[in-house]
Chain A
Amino acid sequence: MNVRSQISMVFHLDKCIGCHTCSIACKNIWTDRRGTEYMWWNNVETKPGTGFPTQWENQEKYRGGWEKKNGSINLRSTSKARTVTDIFHNPSMPGMDDYYEPWTYKYDELFNAPEGPDQPTAKPVSMVTGEYINLEAGPNWDDDLGGSKIYAENDPNLKGLTAEQRMQLSAIERLVFFYFPRICNHCLNPSCVAACPSGALYKRGEDGIVLIDQKRCRGWRSCVAACPYKKTFYNWTTGKSEKCILCFPRLETGQAPACFHSCVGRIRYLGVLLYDADRLEGVAKSPDEELIDAHRSMILNPNDPAVIAAALENGVHESVIVSAQKSPVYRFVKEWKIALPPHIEYRTLPMLFYVPPMSPVMAEKNDDTVGSVSDDFFHDIEQARVPLQFLANLFGAGHQGKVVYALKKQKAVRTYRRAVTVGDIDIKLAEKMLLEADCTVEQAEAIYQLTSLCTFDDRFVIPPMHREEAIEMMKDPHEHRSSVGFGFVEAPERGL
């Protein structure tokens, strides 16, 4: 057993209101520099929709992630030989048009416009060239479906849905959507790291954060092509790639990452998971339908004495183990099994998990009254307005079982809490539903607490990162203090 710790995350989609506060918090801190304007390390997508960059889930086009062939897994984008032959021009590389051309407005034209019959307007100008541009796409162009179904119909996750199910989604009057906030998943088997010809990408041993060494990056951009979630970005000004750093400077000082901290809907949870790194390769090779279970089985119980002993032996700090025991992520993913990894069929083993969203209650209009179409107080899972298969394509590698389990449990908890607080549902019926959903009353209360009444400290259990200890071992702390700067010592300037 090779126990390592990983800072992991849960996003509770049932709580996301799509306000984009997370995106803005991230943008203001990290990506407001020239060359990074187009990057959204954190973005919130409307699902069904095409996402950012457009159709990022279409791996026929972008060739991201791993594919299983003859018992081994290989990068879909770049075999080692192809890295060499494709290095001058990578055919599966997204271009700026797949994201969008960033722009601003000529605000001074509002003030300098000559007097005339019309209101002056501020015309959009490209932030790349400074020239006037026609806006054809932007981040979240299809937000809330952009008022049209063309975006929804091009969602790669609609694969395998019947015509009837598609109709159910896209018939305008019954249009339904949910939000899908995304950051880097800080995967256990990151394809971006594996693809980097320069060895500039790495996973931090102590906490699993995936970073790009800016001095070692040579701008070959293999990581951009290889990441199936398209969460590494190329800075066209500096000629270096950049990605979400999980706000590690904040984490190291005990603060939650900016997108977590600012989350209005309190949908985000962060905590440590202990996992067995020796099993990584075997798990990544599992058949599609077993991937979720295999991934879960890699995650170790932090209360198990054998795991604790192995973790200590492996250099995991005692305080990190204590932190893992309090981890909200462990409860969602492993104990309650209601948080699922996104697109685990890409086999990167993402460490960001999603609680799948409950659909709005199905209702129909009869004359002047609106009534539920289901006898159930909350609608049947199978009748959800977002077809199960769609959610299964997103969170279940195409298999519905795990998604149904998560939704049933959420529904049972809702029903149970309704019975307790409002009392219009028979408590016996609610308890029966809990039983059928593989949920005890205690667990239902715990889910309710951590979902609805969670405090800041419940949601973010940040382990002490112990960076100071590592420095003490290497050199005199006083000397170290005087020799490090804040940010780059060498200016991050573009080479000629």
Chain B
Amino acid sequence: MTGPGPFFLDEIFFVVMPYLAFIIFLLVSIRRYLTQSFTFSSLSSQFLENRQHFWGLVPFHYGIIAIVTGHIIGFLIPREVLAWNSQPLRLYVLEVSAFVFGLLTLVGLVSVIVRRFTVSKIRMVTSTADWILFGIFVVQILSGLYVAAFHGWGSSWFAAVATPYLWSLLTLSPDIAYVTAMPWMVKLHIVCAYVMIAFFPFTRLVHALVVPNPYLWRKTQVVRWYGIRRFASGRPGADRKM
């Protein structure tokens, strides 16, 4: 294991990078949404290849959603997570299920990459950004699995170490003492996360920002009126758009 790197490198990786990544993420996403809303799409390729699609996309998405949710929970309610982990059995259950979801993500990602490589139709709709993205994902997921396997009880020390660090970033008083002492694989995982956040708005990942939210509570049929409807009687425009 290597010791903590030179001081300025830590500053760059754990103070400058997160802020930079977050600002890039925010500004580019908003700009893209405002000026290039046409480019927001799932860019699904199920139409071109319908069988391998299932074995890649489904495990990957369920895996990554569970993992990301887990990280967010650890960040938002660390105390409750620690309390949950106070009983060994519950800790084991959490650790094992987190690892399983990580594996699910990896299996999904590998079959997605294999599909992109082998199906010629799919290669036609694969961009350079996609390949870079796959690279980042591979590093991120493998490092995450390594940490989960060899630096155990992550669900507990995430709450005790990473959460205070992230909160310190959020409150604009960065304290990197929490992370500088971490094993280098954990550091890699953190830095790679920042790279991904910064790269996010330039890639197809933006579809995650436009997941269908009005659908579950909107009216079944959507009618749009052009301009102002001519109501002689003042009938309320109950069905004006949605």
Q: Which residues of A are at the interface with B, using a C-beta cutoff of 8 A?
A: 80, 83-84, 87-91, 93-97, 128-129, 131, 189-190, 193-194, 196-199, 201-206, 214-221, 234, 236-240, 277, 312-315, 317, 467, 469-471, 473-474, 488, 490-496
Q: Which residues of A contact B44 (CB under 8 A)?
A: 219-221, 234, 239
A205 is contacted by which of B53, B226, B232 (Cβ under 8 Å)? B226
Give chain B interface residues in 207-242, CB to chain A under 8 Å. Answer: 207, 210, 212, 214-216, 218, 220-233, 235, 239, 241-242
In the bound complex, do residue B212 and residue A220 qualify as a contact, i.e. CB atoms below 8 Å apart?
yes
> Knowing A88-B58, A131-B120, A234-B44 touch, does A83 contact B215 (C-beta < 8 A)?
yes
User: Which interface residue of B49, B228, B242 has the most chain A CB atoms within 10 A?
Assistant: B228
Q: Tell me which of B19-27, B31-39, B75-83, B85-93 binds A.
A: B31-39
In the bound complex, do residue A202 and residue B61 qualify as a contact, i.e. CB atoms below 8 Å apart?
no
Q: Which residues of B contact A219 (CB under 8 A)?
A: 41-44, 207
Q: Which residues of B contact A202 (CB under 8 A)?
A: 222-224, 241
CA–CA, A181 to B43, complex, Å?
A: 31
In the bound complex, do residue A128 and residue B216 qualify as a contact, i.e. CB atoms below 8 Å apart?
no
Between A and B, 20 residue pairs with Cβ closer than 8 Å are A88-B57, A89-B58, A93-B47, A94-B47, A95-B50, A96-B121, A204-B223, A220-B42, A234-B44, A240-B38, A277-B239, A313-B233, A314-B231, A314-B235, A315-B229, A315-B231, A494-B39, A494-B125, A496-B129, A496-B203
In the bound complex, do residue A315 and residue B232 qualify as a contact, i.e. CB atoms below 8 Å apart?
yes
> Knowing A203-B224, A315-B230 touch, does A495 contact B121 (C-beta < 8 A)?
no
- The SS class assigned to the A binding surface is loop
CA–CA, A353 to B227, complex, Å?
A: 30
CA–CA, A217 to B27, complex, Å?
A: 22
In the bound complex, do residue A129 and residue B124 qualify as a contact, i.e. CB atoms below 8 Å apart?
yes
B222 is contacted by which of A80, A193, A215, A220 (Cβ under 8 Å)? A193
Q: Which residues of B are at the interface with A, using a C-beta cutoff of 8 A?
A: 35-50, 53-54, 57-58, 60-62, 120-121, 123-125, 127, 129-130, 202-204, 206-207, 210, 212, 214-216, 218, 220-233, 235, 239, 241-242
- Residue on A with the closest CB to B129? A496
> Knowing A201-B222, A470-B227 touch, does A218 contact B40 (C-beta < 8 A)?
yes
In the bound complex, do residue A89 and residue B53 qualify as a contact, i.e. CB atoms below 8 Å apart?
yes
- The SS class assigned to the B binding surface is loop
A215 is contacted by which of B37, B57, B229 (Cβ under 8 Å)? B37
CA–CA, A218 to B212, complex, Å?
A: 9
In the bound complex, do residue A218 and residue B38 qualify as a contact, i.e. CB atoms below 8 Å apart?
no
B215 is contacted by which of A80, A91, A204, A214 (Cβ under 8 Å)? A80
Q: Which residues of A contact B37 (CB under 8 A)?
A: 215-216, 490
CA–CA, A87 to B36, complex, Å?
A: 23
Q: Which residues of A contact B242 (CB under 8 A)?
A: 199
In the bound complex, do residue A236 and residue B47 qualify as a contact, i.e. CB atoms below 8 Å apart?
yes
B232 is contacted by which of A80, A206, A313, A470 (Cβ under 8 Å)? A313
Q: Which residues of A contact B36 (CB under 8 A)?
A: 490, 495
Q: Which residues of A contact B223 (CB under 8 A)?
A: 202-205
CA–CA, A384 to B91, complex, Å?
A: 75
The distance from the CB of A271 to the nearest CB of chain B, in whole angstroms, is: 20
Shortest beta-carbon contacts, A-B, top 5: A495-B39, A470-B227, A197-B212, A239-B41, A205-B225
In the bound complex, do residue B226 and residue A470 qualify as a contact, i.e. CB atoms below 8 Å apart?
yes
A sample of 9 more A-B contacts (CB under 8 A), given A204-B225, A315-B230, is: A89-B58, A196-B222, A197-B212, A215-B37, A218-B207, A236-B48, A313-B232, A314-B235, A470-B227
In the bound complex, do residue A313 and residue B46 qualify as a contact, i.e. CB atoms below 8 Å apart?
no
The distance from the CB of B166 to the nearest CB of chain A, in whole angstroms, is: 28
In the bound complex, do residue A492 and residue B38 qualify as a contact, i.e. CB atoms below 8 Å apart?
yes
- Residue on B with the closest CB to A470? B227
- Residue on A with the closest CB to B216? A80
Q: Which residues of B contact A218 (CB under 8 A)?
A: 40-42, 207, 210, 212
In the bound complex, do residue A313 and residue B235 qualify as a contact, i.e. CB atoms below 8 Å apart?
yes
- Residue on B with the closest CB to A211? B224
In the bound complex, do residue A198 and residue B215 qualify as a contact, i.e. CB atoms below 8 Å apart?
yes
In the bound complex, do residue B222 and residue A236 qualify as a contact, i.e. CB atoms below 8 Å apart?
no
> Knowing A206-B226, A490-B36, A495-B36 touch, does A236 contact B125 (C-beta < 8 A)?
yes
In the bound complex, do residue A206 and residue B225 qualify as a contact, i.e. CB atoms below 8 Å apart?
yes
In the bound complex, do residue B40 and residue A89 qualify as a contact, i.e. CB atoms below 8 Å apart?
no
CA–CA, A197 to B120, complex, Å?
A: 30
Q: Which residues of A contact B230 (CB under 8 A)?
A: 315, 317
CA–CA, A480 to B120, complex, Å?
A: 46
User: Which interface residue of A90, A198, A313 has the most chain B CB atoms within 10 A?
Assistant: A198
In the bound complex, do residue A214 and residue B38 qualify as a contact, i.e. CB atoms below 8 Å apart?
yes
> Knowing A218-B212, A496-B203 touch, does A470 contact B228 (C-beta < 8 A)?
yes
The distance from the CB of A306 to the nearest CB of chain B, in whole angstroms, is: 14
- Residue on B with the closest CB to A73? B220
The distance from the CB of A432 to the nearest CB of chain B, in whole angstroms, is: 47
- Residue on A with the closest CB to B231? A315
B124 is contacted by which of A94, A128, A206, A234 (Cβ under 8 Å)? A128
Q: Which residues of B contact A131 (CB under 8 A)?
A: 120
Q: Which residues of A contact B220 (CB under 8 A)?
A: 194
CA–CA, A493 to B41, complex, Å?
A: 11
CA–CA, A238 to B137, complex, Å?
A: 24
The distance from the CB of B44 to the nearest CB of chain A, in whole angstroms, is: 5
In the bound complex, do residue B222 and residue A129 qualify as a contact, i.e. CB atoms below 8 Å apart?
no
- Residue on A with the closest CB to B55? A89
In the bound complex, do residue B212 and residue A83 qualify as a contact, i.e. CB atoms below 8 Å apart?
yes
Q: Which residues of A contact B229 (CB under 8 A)?
A: 205, 315
Q: Which residues of A contact B45 (CB under 8 A)?
A: 236
B224 is contacted by which of A190, A196, A205 (Cβ under 8 Å)? A205
